[in-house]
Amino acid sequence: GAGVSQTPSNKVTEKGKYVELRCDPISGHTALYWYRQSLGQGPEFLIYFQGTGAADDSGLPNDRFFAVRPEGSVSTLKIQRTERGDSAVYLCASSEQGGQPQHFGDGTRLSIL
């Protein structure tokens, strides 16, 4: 079956713009995670959804970052007033249940000029 799909694969935008990153998880997976990965680092946790609700958003760096999962499937990570420091690869992962093996998408490479 289909894996986790993330769109776009690349996004280049100017400082101050608004961006939306989309994640289509594996069908039936209730847990969905967003991570941010910088070069040479491991994934850094941003937010975890269990179903439609954000079970843990403690990793969001500030209030410019927001994520939704309105129907418990597709999720969108939204970044307002982007800054150059937001440049990174944004990874989405899903799992059948929280804490179980995760299936990752290939990420969105975000570049803020």
CB of 81 to other proteins, least distance (A): 26
| Rounded Cα distance, 42 and 36, in Å | 9
CB of 16 to other proteins, least distance (A): 28
Between residues 43 and 112, which has the closer beta carbon with respect to other proteins? 43
Residues that bind other proteins (CB under 8 A): 4, 31, 33, 35, 40-45, 48, 50, 55-56, 59, 91, 93, 97-107
| Rounded Cα distance, 56 and 60, in Å | 9
Between residues 14 and 53, which has the closer beta carbon with respect to other proteins? 53
Instruction: Count CB neighbours of 100 within 10 A.
Output: 11
Cβ contact 86:78 at 8 Å: no
CB of 32 to other proteins, least distance (A): 11
Cβ contact 79:86 at 8 Å: yes
Between residues 34 and 73, which has the closer beta carbon with respect to other proteins? 34
Question: CA angle at residue 34 from 15 to 113, to 5 degrees?
Answer: 15
Between residues 14 and 39, which has the closer beta carbon with respect to other proteins? 39
CB of 45 to other proteins, least distance (A): 5
